[in-house]
Structure 1
Amino acid sequence: MKTRRRAPSRSKASGLMTFLRVARFGAVTALAFGLASCAIAPSSSGRYPSKSDARPHAGVATAHRLPIHGVDISKWQGKVDWAALRQAGTQFAFIKATEGGDHVDNRFLENWYAARSAGVPRGAYHFVYWCRPAHEQAAWFKKNVPQDPDALPPVLDVEWNGESVNCPRKVPRAQALAMIDQMLKEMEAHTGKRPIIYTDITFHQEILEGEFNDYPYWIRSTAAEPHHRYNNRRWTFWQFTTTGRVPGVSGDIDRNAFYGTENQWRMFVQSKCDPRDHARLEPLGVCRDVDPVQTASVGE
Structure 2
Amino acid sequence: MIRAFLLSLIFLSLALPGQAGYRFEDHAPVVWTGRTPDSYAVHGLDVARFQDRIDWRKAKRAGVEFAFIKATEGGDFFDPMFDDHWSGARRADIPRGAYHFYYFCRPAKEQAAWFIQNVPRRRGTLPPVLDMEWNPHSPTCVKRPPAKEVRRQARIFLRMVEKHYGLRPIIYTTPEFYSQNQMGKLPGVEFWLRSTAKSLEHAYPGQHWKFWQYTGTGLVPGVTGGVDVNVFNGSGEDWQKWLRSHRR
Normalised to the residue count of structure 2, the TM-score between the two structures is: 0.88
Deviation of 1:168 after TM superposition, in Å, equals 1.4
Matched-pair contact (CA < 8 Å) for 2:134–2:177: yes
Matches within 5 A, 1:15-164: 51-59=24-32, 62-164=36-138
1:184 corresponding residue in structure 2: 158
| Structure 2 residues without counterparts, runs of 5 or longer | 1-19
2:10 corresponding residue in structure 1: none
User: Aligned equivalents of 2:234 and 2:140: distance in 1?
Assistant: 39
**Which of 219, 234, 240 is residue 266 of structure 1 equivalent to?**
240
Matched-pair contact (CA < 8 Å) for 2:101–2:130: yes
Deviation of 1:208 after TM superposition, in Å, equals 3.0
Structure 1 counterpart of 2:203, one-letter code: R
Deviation of 1:44 after TM superposition, in Å, equals 7.4
User: Aligned equivalents of 1:85 and 1:167: distance in 2?
Assistant: 35
User: Aligned equivalents of 2:88 and 2:148: distance in 1?
Assistant: 39
| Structure 1 residues without counterparts, runs of 5 or longer | 1-42, 274-287, 289-300
Structure scoring higher RCO (CA < 8 A, sep ≥ 6) equals: 2
User: In proportion to residue count, which structure has more helix?
Assistant: 1
Matched-pair contact (CA < 8 Å) for 1:44–1:66: no
Structure 2 counterpart of 1:89, one-letter code: G
User: Aligned equivalents of 1:119 and 1:156: distance in 2?
Assistant: 23
Matched-pair contact (CA < 8 Å) for 2:46–2:67: yes
- What SS is found at the alignment partner of 1:143? helix
Deviation of 1:229 after TM superposition, in Å, equals 1.3
Matched-pair contact (CA < 8 Å) for 1:209–1:233: no
Structure 1 counterpart of 2:28, one-letter code: R
User: Aligned equivalents of 2:86 and 2:185: distance in 1?
Assistant: 30
Deviation of 1:118 after TM superposition, in Å, equals 0.5
Q: Which is higher, the Rg of structure 1 or of structure 2?
A: 1
- What SS is found at the alignment partner of 2:32? helix
Matched-pair contact (CA < 8 Å) for 2:178–2:184: no
Runs (4+) of structure 1 exceeding 2 A deviation are: none
1:222 corresponding residue in structure 2: 196
Q: CA RMSD in A?
A: 1.6
**Alpha-carbon deviations, 1:180-203, whole Å to 9, x = none?**
000011111121111110000000
Deviation of 1:232 after TM superposition, in Å, equals 2.5
Structure 1 counterpart of 2:185, one-letter code: E
2:8 corresponding residue in structure 1: none
Matches within 5 A, 1:249-260: 249-260=223-234
User: Aligned equivalents of 1:190 and 1:98: distance in 2?
Assistant: 16
Matched-pair contact (CA < 8 Å) for 1:209–1:231: no
- What SS is found at the alignment partner of 2:71? strand
Structure 2 counterpart of 1:52, one-letter code: E
- What SS is found at the alignment partner of 2:91? helix
User: Aligned equivalents of 1:44 and 1:71: distance in 2?
Assistant: 17
